[in-house]
């Protein structure tokens, strides 16, 4: 099984909506990637929080890396 990766969405210091993927290794945070959110991700994030499909409810998502 691969390492546990976290995906978070939020605003940076310039108020841009970004997605960040990271993992924890040896008690240190290792950045995998960071990018601006897509239009769909922005719309999902900015929808009212009562909608169950809204990714902003969860804020984080666990994904497993694929072993290659």
User: Has residue 15 been placed in a domain?
Assistant: yes
Side by side, the strands of the sheet bearing 60-64 are 28-36, 17-25, 4-11, 60-64
Domain that holds residue 20: 4-60
Residue 52 inside a domain? The answer is: yes
- Count of structural domains, the chain: 1
- Domain assignment present for residue 65? The answer is no
Task: Examine residue 33 and state whether it is found in any structural domain, yes or no.
Answer: yes
27 lies in some domain: yes
- Tell me if 66 is assigned to some domain: no
Query: How confident is the prediction along the chain (68 residues), in pLDDT tens digits per residue?
Result: 578 999 999 999 999 999 999 999 999 999 999 999 999 999 988 876 655 554 443 444 444 444 43
Task: For residue 14, tell me if it sits in a domain.
Answer: yes
Residue 68 lies in a domain: no
């Amino acid at each position: 099984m691969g390492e546990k990766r976290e995906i978070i969405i939020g605003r940076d210091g310039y108020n841009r909506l970004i997605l960040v993927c990271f993992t924890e290794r040896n008690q240190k945070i290792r950045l995998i990637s960071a990018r601006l959110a897509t239009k769909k991700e922005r719309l999902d994030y900015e929808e009212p929080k009562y909608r169950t499909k809204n990714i902003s409810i969860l804020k984080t998502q666990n994904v497993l890396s694929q072993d290659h």
